[in-house]
Structure 1
Amino acid sequence: MHLNKKITVISALLLAVVVLASMTLQQPQRPADPPVTNLKVLPKKLTFRQVDHIMDDWSASLGVRCNFCHVRDNAANKWDYASDAKPEKEMARHMYKMMVSINKKYFKAGDKDSLGMVKLTSVNCNTCHNGKAKLELTIPKRQGFGPPPGGAPGARPQGAPPAGGAPAGAPPAGAPRQG
């Protein structure tokens, strides 16, 4: 009985020594993020990783890669993210400002819709681009005339039977089928 107590105490002390030693060991330092420069519409206090995450979202929303807005410095064998050589980069800035303006005007945090529900939506690059770099103007084809979507009081969809009856042009109930 006395031996088990000694083993437990020694085990606890060894565990404490191991834990303390592992906490005091020098943790390997990851390389420092490169500095972020030439931010004109994004907050200047963002880290490289934060900007990289934003750029990942934008590139996915437009279905493009880094080279769509950025140029590569072949002499240094790296991307020159600060360069404004491509007009697409300036267009992205304009689009970002437009998106922020729309969200501030129509999707304020805590705003409520007509039903009193808190609005949780806003627009972003993907709202309009849907994975395409260039927007295409598309006009929906007319489907013909009929009741409004969702129906109006007393209205019925085209081809629907009247209340309690068969569709227009259908044989009377109980008539033999032809065919």
Structure 2
Amino acid sequence: MLKIRTCIIFALVAATIIGTSAFMPQQDEKKPPEYKNLKVLPKKISHDDMEKVMHHYNASLGVKCNFCHVRNEETKKMDFASDAKEEKVIARSMMKMTNKLNIKSFGEKKEQFNQAVMEVSCQTCHRGKAHPDSK
């Protein structure tokens, strides 16, 4: 009798667990971020690669995100898609320029960003300063 009672209790607990898990939200595979207003960087750039690129700019120019990006006053968050700052427009033209220089001087690469090869980068001229020395 004790074995039957234990089996029934175990079956009820198992059924409850299985039943509740069927109604719990399932976690989707991590979707790649959907960035808005990318004009030079690849449209399907991963979050990790985007972070690497942005941190490279931070270090190479000695600036923070707000140098190129504006804050949305309503949400109090950074509006990374906005083109309100001229520095962001200039950054895009600099990215195109360095890509052209690298292709012309060193040949085309499969990946244009985050490659540890000889290339012209922001650091080449800026050397940690927002505005490079003009000599």
What TM-score bracket applies, with the shorter chain setting the length? 0.5 to 0.7
- Number of aligned residue pairs: give it: 102
Q: Deviations over 1:103-146 (max 9, x none)?
A: 00001169xxxxxxxxx5111100110001112223xxxxxxxx
Query: Per residue, is there more helix in 1 or in 2?
Result: 2
- CA–CA distance in structure 2, aligned partners of residues 49 and 75 of structure 1: 28
Q: Deviations over 1:74-121 (max 9, x none)?
A: 3212110000000000000000000000000001169xxxxxxxxx51
- Alignment RMSD: 2.3
TM-score normalised over the length of structure 2? 0.67
Correspondence list, 1:4-153, <5 A = 34-108=33-107, 120-138=117-135
TM-score normalised over the length of structure 1? 0.51
- Report if the CA contact (8 A) 1:60-1:131 is conserved: yes
Q: What runs of 5+ residues in structure 2 fail to find an aligned partner? A: 1-26, 110-116
- In the TM superposition, structure 1's runs of 4+ consecutive aligned residues that sit over 6 Å from their partners are 28-31
Q: CA deviation at 1:31?
A: 7.4
Q: What runs of 5+ residues in structure 1 fail to find an aligned partner? A: 1-27, 111-119, 139-179
Q: 1:75 to 1:32 in 2, by over 3 A?
A: farther
